[in-house]
Amino acid sequence: MLSIAHLAAQRGDRPLFSELSLTLNAGDCVHLRGENGVGKTTLLKLLAGLTQPQHGEIRWGEQNIATLGDEYYAQLHYLGHKDALKDLLSPFDNLHLAAKLAGNPLDEAAILQALSRVGLARQCDLPVRSLSQGQKKRAALARLLATSRPLWLLDEPFVALDTKAQEQLGGWISEHCANGGIAIFTSHQILPKAIPSITELTLSVKK
């Protein structure tokens, strides 16, 4: 269970949101919405433990995520705007390295299977810098499939994907939640049909 209580954030001098409270249980899927600059990425980064809230707290189960530390990071996949890929490495080596650094080393078969599911079987050994934007996004998404983690925090995951890949990703999110995972994602796009029944959380500009 992920719970947020009385959360407030500001960037620079600008308050973004305050008194944000929410509880998410196994199977919940949240579409985080709002205008550009309202604070969606900021909220996802807070939930990923990458930045600290101005006020309030975030709990995983019964414990504050700040006290859980690595134990919490091992529960989540955070996919940011930047795909966190090393340009000179291949999708295969990126996935191998990311899994190793995260403490969940993967064998060759598991890496190839994940890359094949995201449609990169033929590109798995090419340097990432030579891939298209959509292929880079697919390489980043392979992390979700390669290692099972209950919490997915996805910032604009559909951007750069073609229609078929958007539907596939919608299916993976749906499957993840049906299996008891929690997903929170931002998107300004029309959502694929495969997305499960979702909760909409709309942030609004603070006056």
Ligand X SMILES: Nc1ncnc2c1ncn2[C@@H]1O[C@H](COP(=O)(O)OP(=O)(O)OP(=O)(O)O)[C@@H](O)[C@H]1O
**Residues in touch with ligand X (CB under 6 A):** 11-12, 14, 16, 34, 36-42
Residue 6 in contact with residue 13, Cβ under 8 Å?
A: no
State the virtual CA torsion across 103, 111, 177, 60 in degrees, nearest 10: 10
Distance CA 131, CA 75 (A): 29
* Closer of 99 and 201 to ligand X (Cβ): 201
* Smallest separation, CB 39 to ligand X (Å): 4
* Closer of 40 and 136 to ligand X (Cβ): 40
* Smallest separation, CB 146 to ligand X (Å): 26
Distance CA 158, CA 22 (A): 24
* Smallest separation, CB 121 to ligand X (Å): 32
What are the CA-CA distances from residue 25 to residues 77, 144, 180 (Å)? 17, 19, 8
* Smallest separation, CB 203 to ligand X (Å): 7
* Closer of 177 and 201 to ligand X (Cβ): 201
Residue 182 in contact with residue 151, Cβ under 8 Å?
A: yes
* Closer of 76 and 203 to ligand X (Cβ): 203
